[in-house]
């Protein structure tokens, strides 16, 4: 958690007035259930104690002034929608949120925004979802617009679609806004119902290992994967009109209809159907406190993401392969959209120091760089800071 006095002082330094409010929104992990959200499937995320902070005040003119501490850059524009085209990438997240909110409820004036945070960028911990959700929450509070948490989640997701070009699902924004301390939750991305689970495994803890391979969802194969799933659904729908998503399709239908048309699309769709099942099995395992089964599902998910869905990379595969079979590690897998970022590891408490040493040496020998360990606690979602 950042010190609010620091954020306040930074804001004053950049804008010569005090902020009216400071919103914070956390990054997220995902226990299991990747690439299922945009297929109306199940995910199992949790918010973590790493945050993006957005401090705000209303302006007397019609301009948006933003200072990003991460980029040490200042950007200003007007409230008019067309101005976002020429904005730097990081500012488009803010302008997207502003424009989407403005389309729903009219924003009364310009805004000063100061952005800072401690979520490593490009690590697969959803810093961009945290940024859009903190911005949405902050603007909502600043002008007392009465937007619900769900509306803020949807504005965050729509910003990615319309202003960044990533056709993401809803998991990241939902986790950032709805997270709860010490709990993860299974979210049904079809009807957006969710159920919190306390992770009761006193002997284990979560360790993230950042591969330090930076991903870029927009330029990666993310949108292509989503299209492959949609194509698979479209083919099945021709024969079964009641089918709308992969959630409605069974493996037999996939084998009969999609496989003869494209082996690759068949494999991608099969992964999603299997991954949905794994989320159900993982939540059962958590309820039974069966860490062995839970860990086994994580490894299975990883190799499915790597070999079938093809969203891993050599570094992530190495990190998972290295720990698989070690007695102090119950399970591990790549996390998030893929192509870089972190692995999530469920490890015996007290084993992290020795484990990190071993992995770092092996990883350095293989890739000439070190992974970065990140220890996290499960935290509450988006909030306003008291100050």
For ligand GAF, the binding residues (CB under 6 A) are 34-35, 37-38, 126, 168-169, 171-172, 336-337
Of 40 and 151, which CB lies nearer to ligand GAF in the complex structure? Answer: 40
The answer to whether the beta carbons of residues 9 and 160 sit under 8 Å apart is: no
Of 65 and 215, which CB lies nearer to ligand GAF in the complex structure? Answer: 215
Of 138 and 169, which CB lies nearer to ligand GAF in the complex structure? Answer: 169
Of 7 and 269, which CB lies nearer to ligand GAF in the complex structure? Answer: 269
Concatenate the DSSP letters of all residues of 177-212 into one string.
HH-BTTEEEEEETTT--EEEEE---TTEEEEEEE--
Give the residue ranges of DSSP H helices in the chain: 4-15, 89-104, 127-143, 149-159, 171-178, 222-239, 251-253, 263-287, 291-303, 314-323, 352-367
Angstrom distance (rounded) from CA 291 to CA 328: 12
Angstrom distance (rounded) from CA 177 to CA 162: 20
Angstrom distance (rounded) from CA 315 to CA 313: 6
Of 43 and 207, which CB lies nearer to ligand GAF in the complex structure? Answer: 43
Give the phi and the psi of residue 378 in degrees, each rounded to 5: -80, 135
CB of 191 to ligand GAF, least distance (A): 17
CB of 2 to ligand GAF, least distance (A): 24
Catalytic annotation, residues: 172
Neighbour order of strands in the sheet with 383-384 = 73-78, 63-68, 111-117, 45-58, 21-30, 383-384
Question: Which of 176, 190, 206, 191 has the alpha carbon at shortest distance from 46?
Answer: 176
The helix/strand/coil state of 143 is: helix
């Amino acid at each position: 958690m950042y010190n609010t006095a620091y954020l306040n002082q930074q804001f004053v330094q950049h804008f010569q007035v005090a902020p009216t409010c400071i919103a914070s929104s956390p990054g997220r992990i995902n226990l299991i259930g990747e690439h299922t959200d945009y297929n109306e499937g199940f995910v199992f995320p949790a918010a973590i104690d790493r945050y993006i902070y957005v401090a705000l005040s209303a302006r007397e003119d019609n301009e948006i002034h933003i200072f990003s501490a991460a980029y040490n850059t200042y950007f200003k524009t007007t409230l008019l929608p067309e101005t976002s085209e020429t904005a730097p990438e990081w500012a488009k997240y803010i302008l997207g949120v502003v424009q989407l909110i403005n389309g729903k409820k009219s924003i009364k004036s310009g805004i000063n925004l100061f952005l800072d945070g401690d979520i490593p960028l490009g690590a697969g911990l959803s810093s961009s979802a945290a940024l859009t959700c903190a911005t949405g929450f902050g603007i909502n509070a600043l002008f007392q617009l009465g937007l619900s948490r769900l509306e803020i989640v949807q504005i965050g997701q729509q910003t990615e679609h319309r202003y960044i070009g990533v056709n993401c699902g809803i998991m990241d924004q939902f986790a950032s806004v709805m997270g709860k301390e010490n709990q993860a939750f299974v979210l049904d991305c079809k009807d957006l119902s969710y159920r919190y689970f306390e992770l009761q495994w006193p002997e284990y803890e979560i360790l993230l290992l950042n591969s330090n391979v930076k991903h870029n969802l927009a330029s990666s194969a993310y949108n292509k994967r989503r299209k492959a799933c949609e194509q698979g659904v479209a083919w099945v729908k021709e024969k079964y009109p009641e089918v709308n998503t992969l959630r409605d399709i069974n493996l037999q239908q996939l084998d009969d209809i999609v496989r003869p048309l494209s082996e690759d699309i068949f494999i991608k769709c099969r992964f999603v159907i299997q991954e949905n099942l794994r989320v159900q099995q993982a939540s059962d395992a958590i309820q039974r406190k069966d860490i062995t089964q839970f860990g086994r599902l994580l490894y299975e998910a990883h190799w499915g993401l790597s070999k079938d869905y093809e969203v891993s990379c050599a570094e992530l595969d190495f990190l998972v392969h290295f720990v698989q079979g070690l007695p102090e590690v119950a399970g591990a897998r790549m996390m998030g959209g893929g192509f870089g970022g972190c692995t999530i590891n469920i490890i015996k408490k007290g084993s992290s120091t020795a484990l990190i040493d071993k992995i770092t040496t092996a990883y350095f020998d293989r890739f000439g760089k070190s992974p970065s360990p990140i220890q996290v606690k499960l935290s509450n979602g988006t909030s306003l800071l008291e100050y």
